[in-house]
């Protein structure tokens, strides 16, 4: 029965799938990726502010990302990319992000990050 | 351990504890007991949605399933209390191995909470808890405690397990299977993550044959909790027979950043020959993100629970989450194994293990943990 559930779910998820063409915007990245995976109450919530960062709302993410986490147009120099991809102290601690979520964040860094964060 | 090495280790362990959401977990009963022991949550719990303080029947069940029994009441019934007041509490802690994918040994507190239920005339009662919580960074001395749940309840038939219940106050919107394990996908991504209690009004009708829970809620106006939305939830469950129940659920939430619409089904089937309870929940979620973006998600959970002898219970749970049906390889899977040993009426030891994959290992590193949890019910 478990296999049947997974097969049905995968079949549904496989219908009419496209490339990673999701909006590379701070709103989408926050609400679809950062808030549910990183903005949990005990970690990067506006209440807890672990390490001084919060990602549970778009405004909180905007404030946190512009601190020192993103260098627009430079993925390798962006601390956000580093913590999501390194092997030691990789974030999120409880379950890593899928490669395509990281790729979308990298696309955003190379694209609209400067505009979204008001950085040069 | 030298200081250079000690600091990163301490920071890492503290972060692990925080990330796992365990410095003040929530106490809930086991839905596994439903069907096999009682038809409704009210059979064992004060709350019509289950969880928290036990009723007299719940205490009797705790004694009956434990290895060595012992008086199940608060402090072994050594402390006198008036008949209109019920008190209880939970303490939890865990230790073990975590690989996410960095491999660490960790030990952390999970929960320290006290509950009280004061019954007044006319079916009116007050339920409140007080416990430790994850404190706000920089304000540890003033934010280490809170009341996660507190509500006024009116019960149509005081002292009975069926009838109409109305609750107003702070509690978790009634939705889903309401399992205790908060890392399960149907809780983490399924609308009821850890500490997502809101202020709300719930109208709940419970009968042996069926139950309906309708909750309207607003985000906590005082504290910044994981739930930033206002909304409503509806859950209905119909027991087709003593061994089978089916249900449907829906939830709508709206915040300043997005809207979420959830619809799902759930089922419980008790296989009496195998003495195994199967529980299933499947959710479809449509998220509308401003100014653009509408990921459609599936969250599913299948669990098989079986008592091994009189005081041991094993759960095998399968979790599935696809964060965007339109994009390939954004799904993840997790297998959970929990082994519970009810040693006395108050003390429970739990081995809990998880192995998690991203798109069956194709979309990133796998993760997992193996922990031993101790739970003492006061």
- Arithmetic mean of pLDDT, B328-354: 96
* Residue extents of the structural domains in chain A: 23-117
Check A50 against B137: CB less than 8 A apart: yes
- Give the whole-angstrom CA distance, residue B160 versus residue B53: 15
Answer whether residue A10 shows pLDDT above 90. no
Answer whether residue B24 shows pLDDT above 50. no
| Per-residue pLDDT tens over the stretch B244-274 | 999 999 999 999 999 999 999 999 999 988 8
pTM: 0.88
- Nearest residue, CB atoms, B224 vs list A14, A31, A47: A47
Split at pLDDT 50, 70, 90, the class of B189 is very high
Min Cα separation A4/chain B (Å): 11
Phi, psi of B181 (to 5 degrees): -80, 100
**Lookup result for tokens 């979620």:** B285
- Arithmetic mean of pLDDT, B185-201: 94
Count CB-CB contacts under 10 A for residue B310: 10
Best mutation target, A11, A89, A95, to test chain B (most B CBs within 10 A)? A95
pLDDT computed for residue B221 by the predictor: 92
Pairing relationship of beta strands B124-132 and B103-119 according to DSSP bridges: antiparallel
| Per-residue pLDDT tens over the stretch A79-88 | 999 999 998 8
Split at pLDDT 50, 70, 90, the class of B21 is very low
Residues of chain A found within 8 Å of residue B359, distances taken between Cβ atoms? 98
Residue B149: give its domain's CATH number. 2.40.160.10
In terms of residue numbers, what domain contains B42? 3-377
DSSP assignment of B201-222 equals EEEEEE-SSEEEEEEEEE--SS
Domain count, chain B: 1
Q: Are B234 and B49 in contact (CB under 8 A)?
A: no
| Per-residue pLDDT tens over the stretch B43-81 | 889 999 988 899 888 998 888 889 998 999 998 888 888
Shortest CA distance from A18: residue in chain B: B327
Tokens of B146: 């809170």
Q: CB-based contact (8 Å) between A17 and chain B? A: yes
- Give the whole-angstrom CA distance, residue B50 versus residue B26: 12
pLDDT computed for residue B22 by the predictor: 40
- Arithmetic mean of pLDDT, A107-120: 93
Count CB-CB contacts under 10 A for residue B68: 11
pLDDT computed for residue B51 by the predictor: 87
Shortest CA distance from A9: residue in chain B: B298
> What's the mean per-residue pLDDT of chain B?
88
Mapped onto helix, strand or coil, the DSSP state of residue B312 is strand
Secondary element (H or E) of residue B58: helix B56-64
pLDDT computed for residue B185 by the predictor: 96
- Which residues share a beta bridge with B198? B171
Sign of CA dihedral B190, B192, B196, B199: positive
Beta strand ranges found along A32-119 (DSSP E) = none
Closest CA to B201 of B248, B157, B154: B154
Give the range among A65-74, B15-24, B292-301 with minimum mean pLDDT: B15-24
Shortest CA distance from B283: residue in chain A: A9
Interface pTM (ipTM) of the complex? Answer: 0.86
Split at pLDDT 50, 70, 90, the class of B159 is confident
pLDDT computed for residue B4 by the predictor: 38
């Amino acid at each position: 029965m478990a296999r049947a559930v997974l097969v049905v779910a995968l079949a549904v998820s496989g219908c009419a799938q496209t490339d990673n063409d999701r909006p590379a915007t701070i709103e989408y990245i926050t609400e679809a990726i950062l808030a549910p995976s990183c903005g949990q109450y005990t970690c990067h919530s506006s209440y807890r502010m672990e390490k001084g960062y919060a990602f549970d709302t778009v405004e909180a993410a905007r404030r946190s990302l512009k601190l020192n986490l993103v260098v627009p147009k430079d993925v390798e120099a962006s601390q956000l990319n580093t913590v999501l991809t390194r092997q030691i102290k990789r974030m999120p601690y409880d379950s890593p992000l899928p490669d395509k979520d990281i790729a979308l964040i990298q696309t955003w860094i190379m694209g609209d990050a400067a505009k979204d964060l008001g950085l040069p | 351990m030298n200081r250079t090495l000690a600091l990163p280790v301490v920071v890492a362990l503290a972060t692990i504890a925080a990330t796992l959401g365990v410095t003040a977990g929530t106490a809930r009963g086991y839905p596994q007991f439903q069907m096999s022991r009682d038809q409704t949550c009210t059979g064992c719990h004060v709350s019509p949605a289950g969880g928290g303080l036990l009723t007299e029947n719940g205490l009797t069940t705790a004694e009956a399933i434990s290895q060595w029994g012992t008086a199940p009441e608060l402090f072994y019934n050594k402390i006198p209390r008036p008949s209109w007041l019920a008190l209880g509490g939970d303490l939890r802690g865990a230790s073990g191995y975590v690989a996410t994918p960095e491999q660490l040994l960790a030990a952390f507190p999970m929960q320290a909470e006290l509950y009280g239920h004061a019954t007044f005339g006319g079916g009116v009662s007050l339920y409140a808890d007080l416990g430790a919580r994850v404190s706000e960074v920089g304000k540890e001395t003033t934010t280490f405690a809170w009341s996660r749940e507190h509500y006024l309840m009116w019960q149509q038939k005081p002292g009975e397990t069926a009838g109409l219940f109305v609750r107003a106050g702070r509690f978790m919107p009634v939705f889903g299977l309401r399992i205790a394990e908060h890392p399960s996908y149907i809780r983490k991504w399924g609308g009821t993550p850890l500490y997502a209690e809101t202020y709300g009004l719930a109208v709940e009708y419970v009968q042996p044959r069926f139950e309906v829970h309708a909750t309207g809620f607003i985000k906590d106006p005082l504290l910044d909790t994981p739930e930033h939305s206002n909304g409503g939830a509806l859950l209905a469950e119909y027991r087709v027979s003593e061994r089978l129940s089916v249900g449907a659920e829906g939830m709508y939430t709206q915040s300043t950043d997005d809207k979420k619409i959830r619809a799902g089904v759930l089922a419980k089937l008790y296989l009496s020959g195998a003495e195994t309870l199967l529980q299933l929940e499947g959710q479809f979620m449509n998220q509308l993100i401003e100014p653009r973006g509408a990921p459609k998600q599936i969250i599913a959970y299948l669990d098989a629970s079986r008592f091994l002898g009189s005081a041991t219970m094993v759960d095998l749970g399968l979790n599935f989450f696809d964060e965007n049906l339109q994009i390939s390889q954004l799904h993840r899977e997790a297998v959970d194994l929990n082994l519970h040993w009810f040693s006395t009426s108050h003390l429970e030891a739990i081995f809990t293990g998880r192995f998690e994959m991203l798109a069956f290992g194709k979309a990133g590193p796998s993760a997992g943990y193996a922990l031993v949890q101790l739970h003492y019910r006061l």
